[in-house]
Amino acid sequence: MNKHLLPTLLIAGMSLGTAWAIRGQFGHEQGAAWAGGIGALGIVLLAKRKDWYAKVFQLALASAAGWGVTGIISYGIVVGYGRGIDFGNVYYGLSMLFVIGGLFGLLGGGLFGLVLSDREDKPVLWHRLIVEMTIGGFIFYYLLIEELGWLMTPPRSEAWAACFGMSVAMFWYMIRHQHYSALRLAVFTGAGAAFGFAFGNFLQTVGTASEIKFNFWNVMEYSIGFFGGIGMAYGTFTSEWPETAVNSNRNKFLAPLLILTLIIPFIVWDQSFTTEKIVNTTKGFDHAAPAESIAVNTQWLSFLLILITASYWLYHFYFKQKANETTIAYQDLYTFFLGHLGLYTIFSLLITGAFISLYRIEQYLYIVNLVALAFLVGRYQPSFTNRGLNISRWMINLLFILIAIALMTVIAVSSHGEVNGAEHRFN
């Protein structure tokens, strides 16, 4: 009996949920990529498989790429549909968030699963996969948007269609090359993130209508990460994966390590820590220092933190090793996971000004989550099972989820008048 499965699922949900909630301060592809990498790190820690430690940075980068690329999708107006007062618009909004969340999870979980499936006698042909996914994105965008005119969120970007095309190409690759465990992982990650996004918007709308003073947008962000993380962990722990080498050539993980610890954080810093944004955030605070001074200090502090942490991880995992063949220990990975998530948490506290003002109470819940993860992640280890593909059951579960979304819609439209920010897709 897999008695540790449930707690490991919840811990994985907390890992990605916390990171995705933090992502709300940064947005776009780079913020999603940082969060996606943390979700993968949490699952590898929970799995406690030494052969996965050897390729942990490749796993984290694949997850970061999958969750990150879908950051191009625009969903602000779709969220607004869910804040309406008629069944048609609200159900459409929640259903489309289900689709968007599903695309996040399909690509994030799918690429993560393909790295888990990759082995010497059956390698993933990454150059071919990337080309196929790129072409698939172009083809489906042109077909669905330019030719058929299936617009989800006019007048905003319809980049969801490109992500849909990439997902189709990825699945076709998995089927052709029999990466069925990776396919199963993609499906469950997609299902979790899909439900989490729809359910999160329901919580956000009802919470906003209640007029409770809390950041319910952040609740929605935590929801997609939490349920996406649960789905990603469930798909991982209930599938069969090959045993691979426990040693790693340090040259193979140098590029992934640099991207995860230096390039992604630097892009987040470059795009988010602008003087105008920080000044607008902090100028109303009751604080002795002028907003411009706070902005400059915040920019330099966050930038130095990137350089210090990236340099440390590069030294610890690469330059400190005397031989090319190296083994990554659990404790090293545990420290990296907490440090990488900790840096993201600090970035959130800095960009929101929560270090000098208590106006964003949810920011301190990230610290609570971080402490809880530090305490819990080493205490549980799931037993792996192989539950295979059960497409008929998946279809039944999909039907139940769509019914659940309908029930959420009924509750939402009957619980409030039109909420500020509501949008109308259909008149």
Q: Summarize pLDDT for 144-187 with one digit per residue, the tens.
A: 999 999 999 898 999 999 999 999 999 999 999 999 999 999 99
Identify whether the C-beta of residue 174 lies closer than 8 Å to the C-beta of residue 182.
yes
- Output DSSP code: residue 150: -
Q: Read off the pLDDT band of 210 (50, 70, 90).
A: confident
Region of poorest pLDDT, from 46-55, 69-78, 134-143, 288-297: 288-297
- 3 state DSSP class of 248: strand
- Asked whether residue 336 carries a pLDDT value surpassing 90, the answer given is yes
Tokens standing for 25? 């301060």
Residue 424, pLDDT score: 86
DSSP-assigned letter for residue 382: P
Q: Which of 152, 149, 155 is closest to 78 using CA atoms?
A: 152
Q: Is the pLDDT of residue 104 over 90?
A: yes
Measured between alpha carbons, how far is 103 from 201 in angstroms, rounded to an integer? 16
Say what the pLDDT of residue 393 is.
Answer: 93
**Both structure tokens of 234:** 């469930």
pLDDT of residue 1: 47
Confidence of residue 47 (pLDDT cuts 50, 70, 90): very high
Using alpha carbons, select from 44, 131, 104, 68 the residue that is nearest to residue 271: 68
Contact criterion met (CB below 8 Å) for 369 and 14 = yes
Supply 58's token pair. 């490749």
In the block, tokens 């009751």 appear at 286
pTM for this entry: 0.94
| pLDDT surpasses 90 at 419 | no
Q: Are 309 and 292 in contact (CB under 8 A)?
A: no
Q: Is 343's pLDDT higher than 80?
A: yes
- In this prediction, residue 120 carries a pLDDT of 87
- H or E stretch covering 326: strand 325-326
Q: Does position 288 have pLDDT exceeding 70, yes or no?
A: no
Q: What is the dihedral of CA 19, 23, 28, 34, to 10 degrees?
A: -40
- DSSP structural state of residue 249: E
State the pLDDT at residue 70.
94
Beta strand 248-249 pairing with 325-326: antiparallel
Task: Give the pLDDT band (50/70/90) at residue 238.
Answer: very high
Question: Does residue 359 surpass a pLDDT of 90?
Answer: no
Above pLDDT 90, what percent of the chain?
Answer: 79
Q: What is the pLDDT of residue 309?
A: 98
Q: Are 268 and 347 in contact (CB under 8 A)?
A: yes
Helix (H, G, I), strand (E, B) or coil at 325: strand
- The neighbour count for residue 412, using CB atoms within 10 Å, is 25
Angle at 5 between CA 196 and CA 192, to 5 degrees: 15
- Residue 287 has a pLDDT of 64
Res 405: pLDDT: 97
Largest Cα–Cα distance of the chain, in whole Å? 67
Whether the CB-CB separation of 102 and 134 falls below 8 Å is answered with no
Of the two residues 226 and 415, the one the predictor is more confident about is 226
The number of beta carbons lying within 10 Å of the beta carbon of residue 186 is 30
Q: Give the chain's mean pLDDT.
A: 93
**Phi/psi at 154 (5° precision):** -65, 145
- 401 burial (CB, 10 Å; 0-12 / 13-18 / 19+) is middle
Q: Region 108-132: what's the mean pLDDT?
A: 95
**Cα distance between residue 265 and residue 108, in whole Å:** 19
C-alpha separations of 332 from 56, 247, 316 in Å? 11, 14, 9
CA distances from 231 to 126, 194, 199, 209 (A): 24, 10, 14, 29
Confidence at residue 34, expressed as pLDDT on a 0 to 100 scale: 97
DSSP string, 65-126: HHHHHGGG---HHHHHHTTSSSHHHHHHHHHHHHHHHHHHHHHHHHHHHHHHH-BTTB---H
